[in-house]
Structure 1
């Protein structure tokens, strides 16, 4: 197999296999962000092909070398559904749902991470760069460093990193931190996440930390400095702007309003069906506004898109039941023949339809209880080329750090959430325009391309420092 100078390692390959056996590019911001870099560098992407027990050779796709890592049905159950999504996910999202700690899951997680590390070590050229993505692969950086000390290694954590008081529950807390410290640059969504990580290192290892640098002792007695800092991820803003400008998408937005009975105001929630997203809190607030008579079903409709997620995990099955029960109860109490209180859609939609929904919606509700970033908030802002609409944004979403002109809320405070929704519904056009223009500037300037450039620039500076250090050593001998 040929090798590449630049390798991305992620849980999934950037392609899906259709029913006809053909590979198609996956939708998603990470693929869009990294594809230009991959093509410039003749890069390789290491990941699972998305189907159990599929063992296939590396292949070329759109100028990228794709290196599949096979996973059995048991691997998926233990490493992915178990350790990744029933231990790390709830623990890292403030224990909103209780994490479960099972040794058999951890053993599978270690074994699968080793498989990814070995595949990356084989795929990358001498002195190359590897960028590892997300919480499913936290052990890969250190495993890779042991296999290939010549590499420059980056890691990006797409979800929150918890405070030490929560993180310390993890039975394998030291092993995970050691895995992450194998990277030269460890990126997080928020400054607070990087701070939580650094404090955990100090508490458990007593390593020296200065600014964003962590002094990591090496087996040969030297010390390596790992950089841990925030690199907030974003979206391909231009793609959303182009779609929002298309006449067919704008016409579809008008159709959506008409199909809902042309209410005065449409509220929109777009989420994966996940307990971290605050969907129940949003619906409670909306139901109470109807009950209080502050809004009525003829004038205000809530559209909730809840795309299916981890449907074999118990907590998610229970959440779906609760939300659908709530929707049924509110609609039963307040629907008329011509108007529905909540239009609930348990399915995913193509990007064109999402942009039409964003254009149709007067208020975007992002009520996450904890979120690494929340790109939906940024998508809504990018799509609003008319500089109208209001974003209601949880202070616990990573996007709140950047999108200061949104109406910020604490989703646990239902009374304040209700008042903020009313403020958004009643906001004059001039204030909407002032806020939305400021939000759009932020999203357009800090797009996904800027995110990948800033991270890769940090990696390149590590590489050049290492090269300089080698040159100094040779010169002084």
Structure 2
């Protein structure tokens, strides 16, 4: 009611003031109109009576002239008439002619426009018109009109005018109040929607309120405020001088107190393998494990992974848990068991014959089978159930790792709506045209968009993902905030370049550099002064091992002084050997290494040493510290942590890194020698430059790269994700204050599922 009065009272006051000013103006205008009309009427009367009046004037019959005037003045508007001769004759006037009008004083009434004269009966209009006979003036005709009817009509006009303004005011007030109420209600609803985050923090059910013209400035200001708050909160990232395990614990303690942290990956961080009567423990060759294992040691929590070791079942408890690391347990490893059919379809089939070649520009054709897809979906559901079982609260933080679990985020979100799901895609994301060949492209995108945050190594891969969603789904893409709204859920797409632990574990750097150099060379029968290169990879066609060996061969062709003086050791961990492409690739690599060694068989030492076997991290670091050159020639890679591991291993500030331009690491380590692995001559020239590089230049390059890895280590990578996850949870709490019944019911169902699991 008060809001209506705010509109109505000013409106009535304005209309009243307007009416008060308009009525006198209308009276004046009405009077002017009538005066003009009566003047014209007086002229018509003069023209009409002139001829008969001339006859009466000539005959001099004053009585008949007076009767003529009396007959004319019977008109209700004609008050009086008179004739004033131009000579000294007697005037003829009706009895009603006002005494103020005298023939001797007609000059003040002369002119075409009449003159008003006040009388007891009301205003009179006096009009004087000349009369002529044969072109000679004979006198003046005086016509007096009664204008009292104008006053009566003015009174009626004022009454109707006042009634009109009252009606107009009431109508306009009613329309104004209705429109104001509707507009205010819509504006308030839009503002409430903005405060709930619709169009800002999460998608709206229909058209985004931020698109409404009247709310667009507010939406823009709120987005700016959100960015400022996030930047302020993120300032800890920039201001933090050293990111350590203690930093992660502090984030969990201050921003995420009491919340579960779970990691989900296909590859487990520790594998138990039976060797006779002994159960051996080893860590797989995996960049994912290299990055995530230090984080879990710092954060505790649960790591859910596929238990694929031959002795994995023998060491778990009744809940399929095993505490790790064994020497100092810091977190729980929950193993999920797969049947041979599931592993073949989900892992070897859809994930590594389909998605892996699809996402890597390595010119291997992806293979998609319906049976593999069905197993992929089944395994993702099994891992989703494991997450629900491990969650001790309805709102855990779940870190989903890599392309094996594209469907998992949506499955978790449907069962645990309050969970904060941070998915990280460790491999490249292709462009929309390449990804579109996957028969289940929409299902994969839908699954990933169940994440709260979706991370990639580089902005280029973020751009590719957003372009793919924009091309293939009916989703709302905000390229300013880099978010995707799909199925009433907002997903932030962010760049998180992964890194490694800093400082490296003392166990990895325990042996000094010189003993490492001697031990590696003695192990392979090489002299102490032998120049040594190293490559460390899984035996995968995306790693560019063939291209690397060709570069070594080309170096010896172009620079024969290195024949017998340079040996390249390639560590190639066997992987996915059930897949035909990998079997063929291993055969080609072995054949190439043999051919090159046979070609230079006359040299005292072989140019290639190929080690197709698994190595423990401390053994790999020994090779890093022994080498003069580390060569990374991936044909396409998300990041490639081998480059960063080599740099971190060189605390002596020696050694040269040759790095493929097609790795994410090339964007962070420009001090390396960047090469195109497809250009064999360029790679060979890079090897020669690296082997001949002065110690001072080596030191300058490696020092800069070590500084970057120290600043942007794996704890910072994880810390940024946890800080963003904490920010997302604060947003969710804000949205809960104005959540819809449907949203609340879904969350209640998720909490109930968590309690009754």
Which of 216, 223, 237 is residue 485 of structure 2 equivalent to? Answer: 216
> 1-side partners of 2:644 and 2:574: how far apart?
21
Q: Is the Cα–Cα contact under 8 Å of residues 274 and 309 in structure 1 kept in the other structure?
A: yes
Cα shift at 1:296? 3.0
2:265 aligned to which of 2, 5, 10: 10
* SS of the residue 2:643 aligns to: helix
Structure-1 separation of matches of 2:509 and 2:309: 34
Aligned with residue 327 of structure 1, among 579, 593, 599:
593
Q: Which moved more, 1:109-118 or 1:202-211?
A: 202-211
Write the distance in 2 (CA, Å) between the matches of 1:58 and 1:418. Answer: 50
Match of 2:336 in 1: 69
2:653 aligned residue = 387
Alignment check: 8 A CA contact 1:377 1:393 kept: yes
Runs of at least 5 residues in structure 2 that lack an aligned partner in the other structure? 1-257, 324-328, 741-757
Distance change >3 Å, CA 342–CA 8, structure 1 → 2: same
Partners of 1:13 and 1:198 in 2: how far apart? 30
> Where does 1:35-54 land on structure 2 (aligned, <5 Å)?
35-39=296-300, 43-51=301-309
Q: Which runs of 5+ in 1 are unaligned?
A: none
Contact 1:29 1:448 in 2 (8 A): no
Q: Is the 8 A contact 2:555 2:685 kept in 1?
A: no
Greater RCO (CA < 8 Å, at least 6 residues apart): 1
Aligned counterparts of 2:490 and 2:414: Cα–Cα separation in 1:
16
- Change in 2 beyond 3 A, CA 1:274/1:186: same
Contact kept? 1:212, 1:229, Cα under 8 Å: no
Alignment map for 1:125-144 (pairs within 5 Å)? 125-144=393-412
- Quote the residue 1:267 is aligned against: 533
Out of 236, 239, 243, which is 2:501 matched to? 236
1:220-278 Cα offsets, whole Å, 9 max, x none, are: xxx4321111111111132256633534x641322223432234421111111110011
Structure 1 window deviating more from structure 2 (261-270 vs 161-170): it is: 261-270
CA deviation vs aligned residue, 1:258-304 (integer Å, no higher than 9, x gap): 43223442111111111001111111121122233444322211111
Q: 1:107 aligns with which of 374, 377, 380?
A: 374
2:428 is aligned with 1:160 = yes
Q: What aligned pairs does 1:302-341 form with structure 2 within 5 A after superposition?
A: 302-336=568-602, 338-341=604-607
Q: If the length of structure 2 is used for normalisation, what is the TM-score?
A: 0.59
Question: Partner residue of 2:518?
Answer: 254
State the alpha-carbon separation in 2 of the partners of residues 137 and 23 from structure 1. Answer: 28
Deviations for 1:178-197, whole angstroms, at most 9, x for unmatched residues?
A: 10000000011111111111
Distance 1:408 1:461 in 2: 37
- 1:423 aligns with one of 681, 689, 702: 689
Instruction: Write the distance in 2 (CA, Å) between the matches of 1:396 and 1:332.
Output: 31
1:193 aligns with 2:461: yes
Q: Name 1:32's counterpart in structure 2.
A: 293
Contact 1:69 1:116 (C-alpha < 8 Å) held by counterparts: yes
**Cα deviation 1:322-359 (Å, max 9, x = unaligned):** 11111111111113473111111111222222222112
The answer to whether 1:301 aligns with 2:567 is yes
The 2-side partners of 1:271 and 1:397 are apart by 13
- The question of whether the paired residues in 1 share the 8 Å contact of 2:555 and 2:687 is answered with no
The answer to which of 287-296 and 161-170 deviates more is 287-296
Is residue 413–residue 419 contact of structure 2 (8 Å, CA) maintained in 1? yes
Q: Which whole-Å deviations, capped at 9, do the CAs of 1:366-407 have from their partners, x for residues lacking one?
A: 000011111111011001111111100001011111111101
Aligned length: 464
Partner of 1:435: 701
Distance 1:427 1:240, change over 3 A: farther
How far does the alpha carbon of each residue in 1:407-443 deviate from its partner, in whole angstroms, 9 at most, with x for none? 1011111121122221111111111111110011011
Conserved? CA contact 2:516–2:625, under 8 Å: no
| SS at 1:126 equivalent | coil
Tell me which structure has the larger Cα radius of gyration: 2
TM superposition shift of 1:120: 0.7
Report the Cα distance in structure 2 between the residues aligned to 1:159 and 1:355, rounded to whole angstroms: 24
Check conservation: 2:671, 2:702, Cα contact below 8 A. yes
- Residue 45 (structure 1) shift: 2.2
1:92 Cα offset (Å)? 0.7
Residue 71 of structure 1, CA deviation = 0.3
> For 2:526 and 2:299, how far apart are their aligned partners in 1?
43
1:449 deviates by: 1.2
- The verdict on how the C-alpha distance between 1:188 and 1:295 changes in structure 2, with shifts beyond 3 A counting, is farther
Matched, 1:455 2:455: no
TM-score by length of 1: 0.91
Q: Which moved more, 1:374-383 or 1:462-471?
A: 462-471
Offset at residue 75 of structure 1 (A):
0.6
Written as runs of structure 1 = structure 2, the 5 A alignment for 1:464-475 is 464-471=730-737
Contact (CA 8 Å) 1:263, 1:300: kept in 2 or not?
no
Superposition CA RMSD, Å: 2.3
Structure 1 pair 163–362 and aligned structure 2 pair: CA distance change class (3 A): same
Q: Does 1:82 align with 2:346?
A: no
